Amino acid sequence: MDKVLVIIPAYNEALNIERVVTGLQEEYPIFDYVIVNDGSADETAAVCRRCGFHLIDLPVNLGLAGAFQTGLKYAYRKGYRYAIQFDGDGQHRPEYIEAMREKMDEGYDIVIGSRFVTEKKPNSMRMLGSRLLSAAIRLTTGASVTDPTSGMRMFNERMIREFAEGLNYGPEPDTISYLLKQGARVAEIQVTMDERILGESYLKPVSAARYMGKMMFSILLVQNFRKRD
């Protein structure tokens, strides 16, 4: 199937999911989608069922890695050629999906929707971690990834299979670093992302700092000892 599968991991996104998916259906019906409800404690699953959305409803919270891998297993079994990670909070814009697919057809395995291909990162503490991760990836792989924390990532058929059959893949910067070392070709295109309108992000300042530290440790050290499943 040449269609793109839009994978929407959702955890406690009852306030946003209807708006996000309805917009995708109405404006970009050429894309297939599936919502992976990651054991939400709110009404996310109920909203999806009421609206008749395509839903995989996980009985427990697996975290982003488990939810996204579930979506990629679905994409693999259904034979999709392209799959894209798409936030359920409304920050990602679907108008960039086709441009990402076109970029991928130039011979890339992963295409990242980046906020900083043609725009500079703002000088803020929030972007300090992103700069450090970019530097760590460049140091360990020789590749330049300007927006390693972007969650808008498209994967080709080979990567879909890699994620679906592997046991240790999360949609995180350290996985991008590892796949680069394994020969994956990664590209970025410039995108604009919106701010969350409703609900709260799970990344608070303390948890965000902990996350950045974990990613730096993984990229600089752990990935050197990682083996393929």
Q: Which domains does the chain have, with CATH numbers?
A: 4-225 (3.90.550.10)
Instruction: Give alpha helix (H) positions in 82-204.
Output: 97-104, 125-141, 157-165, 173-181
- pTM confidence score: 0.89
Alpha-carbon distance of 60 to 153, in angstroms, equals 25
Does residue 203 surpass a pLDDT of 60? no
- How would you classify the pairing of strands 153-155 and 110-114? antiparallel
The pLDDT of residue 207: 75
Tokens matching residue 90: 């409304």
pLDDT bucket at 85, cuts 50 / 70 / 90: very high
Does residue 199 surpass a pLDDT of 60? no
Mean pLDDT of 166-179: 86
**pLDDT tens-digit series, residues 20-57:** 999 999 999 999 999 999 999 999 999 999 999 999 99
**pLDDT tens-digit series, residues 90-128:** 899 999 999 999 999 999 999 999 998 877 776 666 678
Contact yes or no for 187/105 (Cβ under 8 A): no
Mean pLDDT of 139-151: 93
Alpha-carbon distance of 134 to 81, in angstroms, equals 28
